């Protein structure tokens, strides 16, 4: 057999034998590409934690990936905007000073002064703070003069979103910070909501006792606010009911007590005047009912007591007169 033919045959055998491995080796890169791990998509809470620790580069990349999946997510968009914005242009040059007290956080101060705990980032940048989680008692912060303001209904964050900025749902103090910030900003309905959620998470230990003590202040302020709103709207009855509830929750609310007493004086005089008009029109039953209501507000209201007795006496005379006429007929 010629040497060329032998070599050619060996080459063909070798090629046939190695064809499959060569094909497999060529496919391996495609297989590796398919199983290459994708960048992890962090939750909003994890992104906030990274921002709190000053890891803005990692957090910014994570925000971009998050927004690819949820482009309309309000908190994510807000955080991305806070990373990109000029803080002075965003919040304004004019400011006042706030001295940090023990236990305060930037999330709490942002909730109090900017209406949203998740705006801690722009507040940190406004104060050249690289690591928002590190806030020291006695530290002096610039607060924009436009603060405090109330977040609009459309922009108002959920409690879960706020807790992420304040420490997380598993952080008991985050609930307390949220409640205290709401109290400070006059958002008493939100404080009640936070208190309710906190109670659901708490047991009967030390934290439960702290919540019980805080509940008196929350309920007292909430109902006093409701009373003021009803009073300003001219709904005296609703205002008095609200002030009563405020004082039941927190008997030390002197402003609510004073407002209630002033309204009681006003309301009893209104009832007395209306009763006199009914009395003069011989609508005795309605007049007596109005004087009864006035005397519930002030049992020592002598004018109402005297007129009520006259109305009762006149009512009895008219009834006797009616009976006499029936007998005569």
Residue ranges of the domains in the chain?
A: 263-317
Q: In this predicted structure, what is the pLDDT of residue 152?
A: 41
Using CB atoms within 10 Å of the CB of residue 300, give its burial: 0 to 12 exposed, 13 to 18 middle, 19+ buried. exposed
Return the pLDDT at 128.
94
Instruction: Specify the pLDDT at position 326.
Output: 56
> Taking the CA of residue 37 as centre, how many other CA atoms within 13 Å lie in the half-sphere pointing to its CB?
3
Instruction: List, in sequence order, the alpha helices (H) in 186-301.
Output: 188-201, 206-232, 236-249, 254-280, 284-297
Pick from 267, 265, 306, 264: which is nearest to 288 by CA?
306
Q: How far apart are CA 139 and CA 24, in angstroms?
A: 65
pLDDT at residue 25, as a whole number? 43
Residue 126, pLDDT score: 93
- The pLDDT assigned to 207 comes to 65
DSSP letter for 299, please.
T
Distance, CA of 152 to CA of 11 (rounded, Å): 80
Q: Please say whether the beta carbons of 114 and 153 come within 8 A.
A: no
What's the pLDDT at 147? 57
Contact 106, 135 (CB under 8 A): yes
Give the closest residue to 222 by CA, choosing from 253, 198, 264: 253
Whole-number pLDDT of residue 254: 92
CA 200, chain centre distance (Å): 16
Cβ contacts of 85 within 8 Å, gap of 6 or more = 122
Residues in the chain: 329
- With a cut of 50, which residues of the chain have pLDDT below it? 1-29, 31-34, 148-156, 169
Task: Look at residue 53 in the predicted model and tell me its pLDDT.
Answer: 87
| Residue-wise pLDDT tens digits, 120-150 | 899 999 999 999 888 888 899 999 987 544 4
């Amino acid at each position: 057999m010629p040497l060329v033919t032998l070599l050619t045959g060996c080459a063909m055998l070798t090629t046939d034998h190695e064809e499959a491995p060569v094909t497999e080796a060529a496919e391996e890169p495609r297989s590796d590409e398919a199983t290459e791990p994708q960048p992890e998509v962090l939750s909003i809470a994890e992104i906030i934690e990274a921002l709190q620790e000053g890891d803005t580069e990692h957090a910014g990349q994570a925000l971009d990936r998050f927004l690819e999946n949820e482009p309309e997510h309000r908190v994510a968009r807000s955080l991305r905007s806070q990373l990109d914005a000029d803080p002075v242009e965003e919040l304004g040059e004019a400011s006042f000073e706030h001295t940090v007290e023990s236990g305060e956080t930037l999330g709490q101060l942002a909730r109090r002064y900017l209406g949203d705990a998740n705006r801690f980032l722009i507040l940190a940048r406004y104060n050249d703070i690289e690591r928002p989680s590190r806030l020291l008692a006695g530290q002096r912060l610039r607060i924009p003069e436009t603060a405090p303001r109330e977040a609009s209904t459309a922009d108002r964050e959920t409690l879960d979103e706020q807790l992420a900025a304040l420490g997380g749902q598993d952080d008991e103090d985050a609930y307390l910070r949220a409640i205290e910030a709401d109290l400070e900003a006059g958002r008493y309905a939100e404080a009640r909501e936070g208190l309710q959620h906190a109670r659901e998470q708490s047991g009967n230990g030390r934290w439960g006792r702290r919540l019980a003590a805080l509940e008196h202040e929350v309920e007292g302020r909430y109902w006093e606010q409701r009373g003021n709103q009803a009073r300003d709207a001219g709904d005296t009855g609703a205002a008095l009911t609200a002030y009563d509830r405020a004082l039941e929750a927190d008997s030390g609310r002197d402003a609510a007590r004073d407002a209630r007493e002033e309204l009681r004086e006003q309301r009893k005089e209104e009832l007395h005047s209306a009763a006199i008009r009914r009395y003069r029109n011989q609508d005795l039953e309605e007049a007596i009912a109005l004087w009864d209501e006035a005397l519930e507000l002030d049992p020592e209201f002598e004018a109402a007591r005297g007129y009520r007795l006259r109305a009762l006496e006149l009512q009895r005379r008219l009834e006797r007169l009616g009976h006499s006429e029936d007998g005569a007929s």
